[in-house]
Amino acid sequence: MMAGDDADGNGVPNKGVLVTTRYSKIIFEPDRPEAEAIGEFQTRPTNAPHQARQLGRDRLKDMNIFELVVLMSLWRKVNREKTLADNDQKDDGNGHIEPGQLNLTVLKAATNNFSEANKLGEGGFGEVFKGTLPNGEEIAVKRLSRHSSQGLSELKTELVLAAKLKHRNLVQLMCVCLQEEKLLIYEFMPNRSLDTFLFDPMRRLQLDWSRRFNIMCGIARGLLYLHEESRLKVIHRDLKPSNVLLDAKMNPKISDFGLARAFGGDQSRDITRRPVGTLGYMSPEYAYYGHVSTKSDTFSFGVIVLEMVTGRRNNSTYECADSVSLLSYVWGKWTTGSTIEVVDSSLDGHYPEDEVLNCVEIGLLCVQENPADRPDASAVALMLSSNSTIDERHPPSRPAFVFGSGHSCTMYGIPAGASNTEGALIRDEQPLKTAISENEVTISELQPSSAWRTKMQTED
């Protein structure tokens, strides 16, 4: 890591800070257990008093840019010798520029000064640009908004998690540049995101069944790593096709960990007063009550599986008088024994029927209304790897958010255009754009129906 030595009156370096993560990891106190190394990002055990947990969350929110610079300075101190050794190499012999050389000047040149022609996408956090380094290597640069508090929060979360999470099905953060701007540099994914293929009538033709199944398995492996195999237990909280990127060989990589929640020890669930995520992919217990757990990601994965089988988007709102949600549609076909009718017609019958039916059932198991009934990541991975157990499973129960044609309410029980008690408007005619999601309807807080409230209170 390289940090500017000059500082203004506030103690913030004038020259900015550049942090590399490819060869380093954050260690706050070397003698502390790994689970504690996430510092402010770790929540207390579920049996701790609510006030203590809330204090930790409030403390996280109150971290400012000065504290972030201090964090990076600690990182520099711990990894100084290793970083200097890496920077001395300059070039690895294969023409790859080392991350330590990616300063603001290099990044501006790589992205043509962040031109519109280089823009890959945009969200509440800021913008993403394609960059090409002098040696021809391609990168993706996330330029966090200067006016978004979510941008700083996302930066801190991704910075900490990037030091801990390394897996072939996760997008890797190469380095972070804080030289005048907040920039995150990632490996470039030439095929962009899954949604650009799946929901485009022409590009979807490139997704034959073999590729779709490979993508499902890759996402499942990534979730298994996050939930059970990494040093930390990580809940993504915003898993959706636009956050699944595809490399040159169409292998999937989960991206965007700015909203992720990390746990240490045996903790695997928590309660938040402000759920964040995307309508259509949020589980009911999370959207309504803020109950976040690994089963929240399981629900999101199930929706993605059903979308990939059907080629239909699980839109957050529907023209209720004439149509039903994707979950309702698939559930109705499954209960009547006509599951094969939901398969995307663009596949033109070129798929192994047993494997497709297995995936539909896995998707339905993942979106069951009761989170306790949903399989965990290891069970999902096992079911995807073997069709032989399909007759041995308990059949899926009714999915969440199932309602049929003619009903007046939309997904999550919110009428189109209605507002909740906090004044947040949910629209179906025009997607909302917030700091949480891109090009999709989003929510912060919802009021559940009395029936669902009674059900959840009974289960608790």
Give the pLDDT confidence score for residue 69 in this predicted structure: 56
Give the pLDDT confidence score for residue 44 in this predicted structure: 40
The count of structural domains within the chain is 2
Give the pLDDT confidence score for residue 428 in this predicted structure: 30
Instruction: Tell me which of 145, 166, 187 is where a domain ends.
Output: 187
Based on the residue annotation, tell me whether 195 is a catalytic residue of this protein. Answer: no
Instruction: Tell me which of 165, 187, 209 is where a domain ends.
Output: 187
Question: Along the 460 residues of the chain, how does pLDDT read in single tens digits?
Answer: 444 444 444 444 444 555 544 433 333 333 344 444 444 333 344 454 555 555 555 554 555 555 555 555 544 543 443 343 344 334 444 444 444 557 899 999 999 999 999 999 886 678 999 999 999 999 999 998 776 656 667 778 878 888 789 999 999 988 888 888 888 899 999 999 999 999 999 999 999 999 999 999 999 999 999 999 998 899 999 999 999 999 999 999 999 888 898 886 665 566 666 677 888 999 999 988 889 999 999 999 999 999 999 999 997 444 444 457 899 999 999 999 999 999 999 999 999 999 999 999 999 999 999 999 999 999 999 999 876 556 678 899 999 876 544 343 344 444 333 333 232 222 232 332 333 343 344 333 333 444 444 444 444 4
Same domain assignment for residues 283 and 152: no
Same domain assignment for residues 243 and 123: no
Give the pLDDT confidence score for residue 253 in this predicted structure: 98
Instruction: Name, in order, each residue with C-beta under 8 angstroms of 374's C-beta and a sequence gap of 6 or more.
Output: 295, 298, 299, 302, 365, 366, 367, 368
Which residues are known binding-site members? 142
Which residues are known binding-site members for ATP? 142
Instruction: Tell me which of 139, 166, 187 is where a domain ends.
Output: 187
The catalytic position among 238, 256, 270, 344 is 238
Give the pLDDT confidence score for residue 154 in this predicted structure: 72
Give the pLDDT confidence score for residue 387 in this predicted structure: 62
Write out the E strands in 83-163: 119-123, 126-132, 138-144
Same domain assignment for residues 157 and 37: yes
CATH assignment of the domain containing 173: 3.30.200.20
Same domain assignment for residues 151 and 70: yes
CATH assignment of the domain containing 452: 1.10.510.10
Place of tokens 């380093």: 24
Same domain assignment for residues 410 and 426: yes
pTM metric for this prediction: 0.71
Give the pLDDT confidence score for residue 287 in this predicted structure: 87
Same domain assignment for residues 34 and 161: yes
Pairing of strands 2-3, 244-246: unpaired
Tokens (6 digits) for 217? 């398995």
Same domain assignment for residues 454 and 306: yes
Same domain assignment for residues 217 and 156: no
Same domain assignment for residues 168 and 290: no
Tokens (6 digits) for 127? 């913008």
Give the pLDDT confidence score for residue 155 in this predicted structure: 75
Same domain assignment for residues 144 and 234: no
Same domain assignment for residues 305 and 447: yes
Instruction: Name, in order, each residue with C-beta under 8 angstroms of 394's C-beta and a sequence gap of 6 or more.
Output: none
For 144, the domain range is 2-187
Same domain assignment for residues 111 and 234: no
